[in-house]
A and B are shown apart, each in its own frame.
Chain A
Amino acid sequence: MLKPAICEMRKVYVDTLIELAKRDKNIVVLEADLAGAIGTKRFGEIYPNQYINCGIMEANMVGVAAGLSLTGKHSFIHTFSSFAARRAFDQIFMSLAYAGLDAVMLGSDAGITSEHNGGTHMSFEDIGLMRMLPNCIVTEASDEVMLKKLLLKAYEKGGLWYIRTSRKKVPRIYDLDENFEIGTAKVVKDGNDVAILAYGISVADAYEGAMLLETEGIRAAVIDMFSIQPLDFQMILHYADKTGAIVTVENHQIAGGLGSATAEVLAENKKAVKFTRLGIKGRYGQTGTIDYLKKDYGIDKYSIADQVKKLLG
């Protein structure tokens, strides 16, 4: 089911922006001195008039995007997720969200995918922050197919978007013609015994964890909750009823992340199912490789399978 990646997420970002700019001269791509990291220099070479490298000024970049939006332009802002969400949060709140302006923000190096940049750069809070903004669509791209579709959808729908992603290659989950609706989770694998809800890089690990469980006769459903806001609460309730056991997995603090969001849905709907949350539990980031970090934070396929078994007892 998992397929090897065709290209890096950053290539998908740049290719898609180029595709959009072909159709619309109001597309503007903004960077804060991380064009080299995400690859948008290539965009700037083709569309120099639709490309702004602000320099290292994330807060100002958000304000500039607000001004561009005021005058009918479509801004695509990129920086690392740590600086996008944490560093410029008041500007995002005030000048974009509260002011009711449109922009698409790509937060790259999501969570542990910042690897060796370490704790200062490792965003485990961005989903939590962004989902507190009532009109912000909050997503993480689980693979390259989804990233492209989300970017196109963001352009078509307008509004304020936060799309979290890795910059590099991630296992491919979806066929190229797959479509995604905001607010509708994706069933990656069905199952009756337990439902594992995940998003971003954790979907692939949840899937592999579920395959491990399969060999032991446990049939786990894997649901891609890529749309954190709006959240597909009906899917959560459906699988709570169907399996009676829910596990969330995320490359983010469980507090404020999908773990919190799912707990809210279950509690408010009186679903006293077996429930456990995997993800970052009150810790900060650190330097390491993705594999090392997954293991250390307990979100690798083996930890997922173990925790599911523990939950089912």
Chain B
Amino acid sequence: MNTQIMDKQEIRSLELFAKKIRLNMIKSLFNLGFGHYGGSLSIVETLAVLYGKVMHIDPQNPNLVERDYFILSKGHAGPAYYAALALTGYFNLDRLYTLNQFGTKLPSHPDRRLTPGVDMTTGSLGQGISAACGVAKSFQMDRTKQYVYCIVGDGELNEGQCWEAFQFAAHNKLDHLIVFLDENKKQLDGPTHEVCQTYDYAEKLRAFGFDTQKVDGKSVEKIVMAVEEAKKTTGKPHIIILDTVKGQGFPYLEQKEDNHHVRPTENEKEIIRQFIEELEQKIGGDKDA
């Protein structure tokens, strides 16, 4: 594979961006007192790649007509999305502390009518991916160069609607649709293999007509390469299966079994406080918020 896509410095800067997303996301959830830590953390690297390099967007002009679109189909990971948007310049970092407050513009689940940079309202699982298909179909009809990126959860794929969307995407040859599957191996009630066996998603999606890749979802470099690779294949929709960990990048939460929605205990609050400090130190003087 082509490793020349990025030099070392660019990789480091994307890694730093991911750290900042992680830090600011955790700070906003910590300030709120509860939330969907696990699934927010596992998409941080992917968001860093999308908002730090891949997407054609203009934070000063969120409605830029020829922008790339992004739909977070697993809407409960909104807090990570908001941190990425704030750090990209869609709004002030301070706003992250209004997460879920009365009258907020940052509700738990993304709302396109409230938040600049949010392209689609999501939260009822399985629906965002269909909207992404609609956007991709529209791009195809208009023969534009735009891409639509969409993140789905591995539990979310239980929903039949996802597979309707996949059939639609393949049949319509939506090659400007790039789907990320956050395979963190857990859903709300536990490990996916206990709740609803997923079998091999790569095999299934290949059979559904997708250009399929599986990459390390902790590596910004691998994710960038996968996107570049996907764009080389035409006539098929793309799926990049991200091998991730629920709670990714926060060792304590990675280990914690029930990490979907967390309301930290006093002891856990201390652990989070320490982790925030650690991240701030790693990021150095450039910590923002």
Contact = CB atoms under 8 A, between A and B. Distances in A.
Please indicate whether A and B come from the same complex rather than being unrelated chains.
Answer: yes
Interface of A: 31-37, 41, 53-57, 59-60, 82-83, 86-87, 116-121, 286-288, 292
Nearest to B194: A53
Contacts of A34: 188-189
A35 B160 contact: no
Q: Please give me the 5 A-B residue pairs with the lowest Cβ-Cβ distance, nearest first.
A: A120-B123, A55-B196, A55-B158, A56-B158, A118-B107
B134 to A, nearest CB: 18
B144 to A, nearest CB: 29
Nearest to A35: B189
Given A36-B258, A60-B160, A118-B111, 20 more contacts: A33-B158, A33-B187, A33-B196, A53-B189, A54-B196, A56-B126, A56-B155, A56-B158, A56-B159, A56-B187, A57-B159, A57-B160, A116-B108, A118-B100, A118-B107, A118-B108, A119-B109, A119-B111, A120-B109, A120-B111
A121 B122 CA distance: 10
A121 B187 contact: no
A56 B107 contact: no
Nearest to B99: A287
B156 interface: yes
Nearest to B258: A36
Contact of B102 (A36, A119, A288): A288
B160 A37 contact: no
Contacts of B108: 116-118, 287
B234 interface: no
A59 B160 contact: yes
A56 B123 contact: no
21 contacts: A33-B155, A33-B187, A34-B189, A36-B190, A53-B195, A55-B155, A56-B159, A57-B158, A57-B160, A59-B160, A116-B108, A117-B108, A118-B111, A119-B111, A120-B109, A120-B111, A120-B122, A286-B103, A287-B100, A287-B108, A288-B102
Nearest to B75: A120
Interface string B145-170: 00000000001101110000000000
B100 to A, nearest CB: 5
Nearest to A87: B124
Interface residues of B, number: 29
A290 to B, nearest CB: 12
Interface of B: 34, 75, 100, 102-104, 107-109, 111, 121-126, 155-156, 158-160, 187-190, 195-196, 258, 260
A78 to B, nearest CB: 12
Contacts of A121: 109, 123-124
A33 B189 contact: yes
B188 A33 contact: yes
A215 to B, nearest CB: 29
Contacts of B122: 120
Contacts of A292: 102
A119 B34 CA distance: 18
A35 B155 CA distance: 14
B102 A41 contact: no
Given A56-B125, A118-B107, A121-B123, A36 B189 contact: yes
Given A118-B123, A287-B100, A31 B159 contact: no
Contact of B124 (A35, A54, A120): A120
A307 B29 CA distance: 38
B34 to A, nearest CB: 8
Contacts of A36: 188-190, 258, 260
A32 to B, nearest CB: 8
A59 B159 CA distance: 8
B110 to A, nearest CB: 9
Contacts of B107: 118-119, 286-287
B189 A120 contact: no
A55 B109 contact: no
A118 B156 CA distance: 19
B160 A120 contact: no
A260 B126 CA distance: 32
Contact of B121 (A57, A59, A120, A286): A120
A139 to B, nearest CB: 24
Contacts of B189: 31, 33-36, 41, 53
A57, A86, A120, A292 — most chain B CB neighbours (10 Å): A120
A187 to B, nearest CB: 36
B103, B121, B155, B188 — most chain A CB neighbours (10 Å): B188
A55 B187 contact: yes
